[in-house]
Amino acid sequence: MTLNSVGLSTEADNPRDEPDREHPLRAWLPHDEERVRGHVVAALNAMIDEVAENDLDLTATENGVALMLEHDNVRCVLVVSPPMRRHSLSPREMQIARLVASGATNRAIASSLDISLWTVSTHMRRIFSKLGVCSRAEMVAQFYGGGDVPPEATDRGATSELWR
């Protein structure tokens, strides 16, 4: 077994696939985090330069396209997913989703928008379907990206008439 300048094995670690208690990384990694960090940063910077200057060898995957990079025993696989719209709700569905996020019931939404309860329910079913959710809480979390509800959506003062 040979070691390169940073102590990584450049040959097969153990041809018999048995645990190697004397492997150089076992002693190196826990005690020299800064050395590992410096090596990884240098390798990543070299990979960035390589990507900027050379053609990419992309591989199509079910999640997008993948690119494998390697420099000085550091390997990196990058997967670039296609851009996805966060949601494709109509303006009315967006309005109803905001009212749901503010805590309004279907009946309150119907009253405030002067539409039937049946229409609100139809909009809710379509919103659930488009966002791939099954509950109002999931809808709000999905619609606002994990629960980050904008302040105007939770401003009860703006929609206080919905609770009267």
Q: Which tens digits make up the pLDDT trace of 111-144?
A: 999 999 999 999 999 999 888 889 999 888 886 6
**Measured distance CA(108)–CA(127) in Å, rounded:** 18
**Measured distance CA(153)–CA(164) in Å, rounded:** 18
pLDDT digits (tens, 9 = 90+) for 83-114: 655 668 889 999 999 999 999 999 999 999 99
**Measured distance CA(56)–CA(66) in Å, rounded:** 10
Q: Which domains does the chain have, with CATH numbers?
A: 32-80 (no CATH), 91-163 (1.10.10.10)
Describe the crossing of helices 117-131 and 136-143 by its angle, rounded to 10 degrees. 60
> Which pTM value belongs to this model?
0.41
Which of 59-73, 102-116, 146-160 is the least confident region?
146-160
